[in-house]
Amino acid sequence: MRLIKYQDGWTRRLFLERVAQGASALGVIAPLWEVIGSTGTCEAAYPPELLSIEAYTKGKLKAGDVLSADNVDIVKDLLDPIAYHQIKNDKRVVDLVATTTDINRINPSEFIAATERNRGVHKLDENSNVWTKDGKPWIGGNPFPEPSDGTQVVTAMSLSWGKHDAVLHPIKEWDTDAAGNTQYAYEMAFLEYQTVGRLVMDPKPYLPGHLDQLRLVPDVITAPEDQRGTAFLQIWAYDQRMFPEFYGYTPLLKRVRTFPVDQRFEPLLPGENYFSTLAWHVGDPVLTWGNFKIVGRGPILNGIQCPIYKNRGWLFKNCGGQSGNKYFRTWMELVPETIIVDYEPVKYPRAPISKKRTWFDARTMQPLVTNTYDRQGKLWQQWEGGFAWYDKADGGVDWPSSAPDKFWWWAHVHAYDVQNETLAKLQLTPEVTGGYTIRINDPAIFNEFCSMSALRRMGR
């Protein structure tokens, strides 16, 4: 009976109808969050063609195959236009893997549990800020796992970027020219510290005295030597209509400066082709953007599981471009359902971006890939993220003692400018210069990094 009901094109028509009708139901053959709540997986919510790239392509592609210019047209409808261009025209290749259906491997289990526990607890006020129904700040998890509109989709993600209470990301970055030759290379320690919506660290869900804040975001450059000690600190207000306080320490001048609002649309370091506004896709307070509109639904290919922890130094192999080293050689799998949202910079009159278009994983509201458009409406930038379920017992090497044996997190970012063909590629590593290693839900991060005195101390 199922084979007859879910015939060719059935799911595509269903997704088109839902967008046209403004329907917000998630899942195809069963309500998504009812399935997740009872089974812990998404399998029963989708037909076979949305859970297997082999079934979707009728055997033309399968897990273990390599996606390249020779076969990418088979799945052109599963890629954002910039990823398709990279594979079709710039020698990028991607390894295909099986679809991940265990919900606890595509977000932290604590976050998933809080999402289920707190279903129906949150609401948007008249300004579209998130509060509990008794008027308190967000208490954790995805506040809108079954969103009714584009505002709820984007807001659900923006409250917590990394989905942990506190994190230290050791990051390596390579900025390339159009051919893929590295022009600049950086190492940095990027941190996030949640003051509300806390699920692991005590006190929870709030840090006393900081309920008017959402997060603290320190960042310090550790290499190369001429940039070492450059440091930044953002203090985000809970009211998402307000701009973050944004400070930077410059070693050359040995002083702290305040960044203007428009700095969010300029590179922070030489050679970078991306801006703060693209961090975690929604790098600005969500209500400084607006006109949120759901413009599409359907599956996508994305890097949900990229097991770099099995490689020495957790380093990706490279591929593509004239140099052969332009892109990370990433893994992609079929994501059964995404919600595609367009939104515009309503509080940045001089923003060079006219709109963003982001694909959100319907299972978690995790953003997967964003395309931006310039002021003339032309396709401009891509921010493509990849993730992983890190498991030391599953062949993990170079594991830092500061990291848990198992955790969910991001793995890589491609920041691509399709107009000049430059690429910034960033990835999580176990450690960077200066001895900074992975730390997750470590309360000591607050005193060590999240203050103006720490900003000066991290500098040199």
CATH of the domain at 220: 2.50.20.10
Last residue of a domain, one of 157, 187, 215: 157
Could you tell me if residue 27 is inside a domain? no
Alpha helices of 272-390 — where are they, by DSSP H? none
- In this structure, are 152 and 171 located in the same domain? no
- In this structure, are 134 and 173 located in the same domain? no
Q: What is the pLDDT of residues 285-309, one digit of tens each?
A: 999 999 999 999 999 999 999 999 9
Radius of gyration of the chain (CA): 21
Share of the chain above pLDDT 90, in %: 87
Residue 318: per-residue pLDDT: 98
Alpha helices of 211-268 — where are they, by DSSP H? none
Q: How buried is 396 (Cβ within 10 angstroms: 0-12 exposed, 13-18 middle, 19+ buried)?
A: middle
Last residue of a domain, one of 128, 157, 186: 157
CA–CA gap between residue 247 and residue 258 (Å, rounded): 5
- In this structure, are 230 and 135 located in the same domain? no
Is the pTM of the predicted complex or chain greater than 0.85? yes
Which residue has better confidence, 425 or 261?
Answer: 425
Could you tell me if residue 43 is inside a domain? no
pLDDT over threshold 90, residue 15 = no
- In this structure, are 240 and 380 located in the same domain? yes
pLDDT over threshold 70, residue 22 = no
pLDDT over threshold 60, residue 420 = yes
CA–CA gap between residue 364 and residue 142 (Å, rounded): 7
- In this structure, are 228 and 148 located in the same domain? no
Strand 94-96 versus strand 331-344 pairing type: parallel
Could you tell me if residue 18 is inside a domain? no
List the structure tokens of 336. Answer: 């059964």
pLDDT over threshold 80, residue 346 = yes
- In this structure, are 132 and 194 located in the same domain? no
Residue 19: per-residue pLDDT: 81
- In this structure, are 278 and 341 located in the same domain? yes
Q: What is the pLDDT of residues 71-129, one digit of tens each?
A: 999 999 999 999 999 999 999 999 999 999 999 999 999 999 999 999 999 999 999 99
- The DSSP-derived string for 102-128 is BGGGSS-HHHHHHHHHTTT-EEE-TTS
Could you tell me if residue 6 is inside a domain? no
Strand partners, 293: 342
- In this structure, are 170 and 136 located in the same domain? no
Residue 263: per-residue pLDDT: 81
Could you tell me if residue 418 is inside a domain? yes
Residue 460: per-residue pLDDT: 61
- In this structure, are 276 and 127 located in the same domain? no
Helix 32-39 vs helix 109-117: crossing angle, to nearest 10: 120
- In this structure, are 173 and 153 located in the same domain? no
pLDDT over threshold 70, residue 446 = yes
The CA-CA-CA angle for residues 372, 373, 378, to 5°, reads 140
Could you tell me if residue 203 is inside a domain? yes
How many separate domains does the chain show? 2
- In this structure, are 398 and 413 located in the same domain? yes
Could you tell me if residue 95 is inside a domain? no
Domain enclosing residue 448, as ranges = 162-458
Q: What is the pLDDT of residues 214-249, one digit of tens each?
A: 999 999 999 999 899 999 999 999 999 999 999 988
Residue 3: per-residue pLDDT: 44
Could you tell me if residue 129 is inside a domain? yes
Long-range residue pairs from 38-41, CB within 8 A, at least 24 positions apart, any chain: 40/102, 40/103, 40/104, 41/101, 41/102, 41/103
Last residue of a domain, one of 100, 134, 157: 157
Share of the chain above pLDDT 70, in %: 97
- In this structure, are 234 and 263 located in the same domain? yes
